Structure 1
């Protein structure tokens, strides 16, 4: 047995000197391998040591970006609609009925959904830990070592806020990150400066709104404490703008559900907060949904995705001199949506945004779709013209996502 293992090891070591793909020059072999979809990369590592070393090296993903073969992946924290029981798929209503018969409420479960916008495929990632309910997800994009970070949320069993942090290194896999100093949920969160994640506000285990803020250095796996905000802000929106961390709207402990019109901005250069008024006109709507910050052409934009009724409620412009653009939602979409920018398309003015709605829209009549509510917007930033494309969404992936982010891999 020992001799067989030694012989196998020798063969693998000898294989390191062979071509990437037998019979092809390595440059042609590389062109083939970088075109394999990302979901198969873990399997490719098992083919041989040379492939394992190649796919574990950041230069492989850098080459995918340079050659335009990288894929647009949308990550979503989403309620799971199906479960497997005795090899049968049970939908959410059947699952609820089953638990009702045993006098126990159905467990609240969230999963990590991945929509591949390049190949138009859906899949659910199952990590080796239980994903907190309502956790935030953000991405750190780099040429060869991109990361997905999950932060906070509720414990699925106790429904109490948690301080947990999980990091998915696209090359190395999952790891448990350093925990936040405060367990929090429904907080503002954004990546600023490429390697740091800022969090602020939300609520703790007594459902009291928070003023506190922290910053997470993902590479160092270290948390730093920031000065407190001026106001309590539960269910607020976080975004990066001009290399600063913005916390928009939210509500205080005593005014739950009535969203503020102001916001606060943290400048890492001065390590201080500034307050801005007249940022958000909708008292009953959270800016976390229906909006996203993005870059249109050479300037930053804050996109608001609104229906006709919401547009009629808009009563004022921003006090701050920055651009806000309103995008008309498809007529079939009613209520809140979760959006994330996919970046620029074929040319510098062709912007793409992924949108997910939780309502079963009037487009349910689609012949090949079990469910509706997902769209990709193509927007010409030079003139504001928009075009919506419906995204086929299987029933298992149709739930409204609490948090959404994007990576180009």
Structure 2
């Protein structure tokens, strides 16, 4: 059957690949053939080759309630939702609420983009602060949520999490209900909706940071049970091709440094906020400052990268408005991002999808 009557399929496909991602749910509801087309790998490849894909930044961001003085005022605990920033258009929006969590997103949950899906993993239930093992998947094609397979094993908090952007979401470390730091790791296959255990890391890592680049899942920093809050300098990486952990990198960070701002760009460079600067990890293993952070994003910064750009969201003071800036990673120049007031709440985590 022709995708569009009286048109060759290649012309029909040229029409469909030009539909903005916000129209995917409407177009895919027209007929089964259009839905299958939009979900196909061929469709995404052609859309990307034609330069029609767009970066979409997704953030776990607190609902903002302000007053005339400009100070931020949150309920206790703060209520978080998923917000979307489109760098190309400058549009800010909010994703549909996660079903089953009437008081907002699980606190401290992790988010990862996998193809045309957003995966929300773990966190604390905002109603009772119980640790959640839930996996929630948002499909940008159908604009709907569904529940994935729960994380296996003990409930864990403050774990490292990252995706390969294609099929897998990796999880490692964190701590259990007894505040015991964990070495265990696992991977979630989004297409199969199943978890697979990975070999244990070399050491326990609570409050570690996960990033994925160059075919490896990197777990940075964290601390052991007996060190409670005293962060390690080391990192280790799981090589997907060999299905094993590489040798521990002992001095990736300075002692006592929280790794939460570490991010990788699309060419494999690792950046982080450090001493009021954005710094890049050089091949020598040392950190080099490349740009001074704007003064109004230095408190609680959240970082997301895409296509040679670095988004930083933070505030000038605790409890203040959260401002947004983009750093061009080619020339290290800042651009202020204008956001409506309702999108100036605290951002806990973020990721980027190319749709």
Taking the TM superposition and a 5 Å limit, the aligned residue runs for 1:143-222 are: 146-172=116-142, 173-181=144-152, 182-192=154-164, 194-222=166-194
1:136 paired to 2:110 = yes
Q: CA separation of 1:19/1:129 partners in 2, compared to 1, >3 Å: closer, same or farther? A: farther
Q: Deviations over 1:8-50 (max 9, x none)?
A: xxxxx9x976358xxxx98776555543432233234456777
Q: When the two structures are superposed, what TM-score results if normalisation uses the length of structure 1?
A: 0.73
Query: Offset at 1:149?
Result: 1.4
Query: Offset at 1:167?
Result: 2.1
Distance 1:230 1:55 in 2: 42
Q: Deviations over 1:312-353 (max 9, x none)?
A: xx9xx88x855755332333232332112111xxxxxxx222
Distance 1:244 1:57 in 2: 26
Q: Deviations over 1:183-206 (max 9, x none)?
A: 212111122484222211112223
Ranked by relative contact order (alpha carbons within 8 Å, sequence separation 6 or more), the top structure is 2
Q: Deviations over 1:48-86 (max 9, x none)?
A: 777556545554443322221222100111222259xxx
The DSSP-based 3-state class of the residue aligned with 1:76 is: strand
Distance 2:32 2:117 in 1: 24
Structure number having the greater helix percentage: 1
> What residue in structure 2 maps to residue 261 of structure 1?
233
Taking the TM superposition and a 5 Å limit, the aligned residue runs for 1:57-76 are: 57-76=40-59
Q: CA separation of 1:309/1:151 partners in 2, compared to 1, >3 Å: closer, same or farther? A: closer
Distance 1:56 1:275 in 2: 39
> What residue in structure 2 maps to residue 9 of structure 1?
none
Question: Contact (CA 8 Å) 1:229, 1:273: kept in 2 or not?
Answer: no
> What residue in structure 1 maps to residue 24 of structure 2?
41
Q: CA separation of 1:399/1:261 partners in 2, compared to 1, >3 Å: closer, same or farther? A: same
> What residue in structure 2 maps to residue 100 of structure 1?
none
Which stretches in structure 1 are left out of the alignment for 5+ residues? 1-12, 84-90, 97-105, 344-350, 365-370
1:342 paired to 2:312 = no
Query: Offset at 1:237?
Result: 0.9
Question: Contact (CA 8 Å) 2:25, 2:140: kept in 1 or not?
Answer: no
Taking the TM superposition and a 5 Å limit, the aligned residue runs for 1:233-252 are: 233-252=205-224
Distance 2:48 2:288 in 1: 29
Name the count of aligned residue pairs: 342
Question: Contact (CA 8 Å) 2:159, 2:206: kept in 1 or not?
Answer: yes
**Root mean square deviation of aligned Cα:** 3.4
Distance 2:55 2:254 in 1: 33
Q: When the two structures are superposed, what TM-score results if normalisation uses the length of structure 2?
A: 0.83
Structure (1 or 2) with the larger CA radius of gyration? 1
Question: Contact (CA 8 Å) 1:305, 1:329: kept in 2 or not?
Answer: no
Question: Contact (CA 8 Å) 1:184, 1:204: kept in 2 or not?
Answer: yes
> What residue in structure 1 maps to residue 339 of structure 2?
393
Which stretches in structure 2 are left out of the alignment for 5+ residues? none
The DSSP-based 3-state class of the residue aligned with 1:277 is: coil
Q: CA separation of 1:29/1:215 partners in 2, compared to 1, >3 Å: closer, same or farther? A: closer
> What residue in structure 2 maps to residue 87 of structure 1?
none
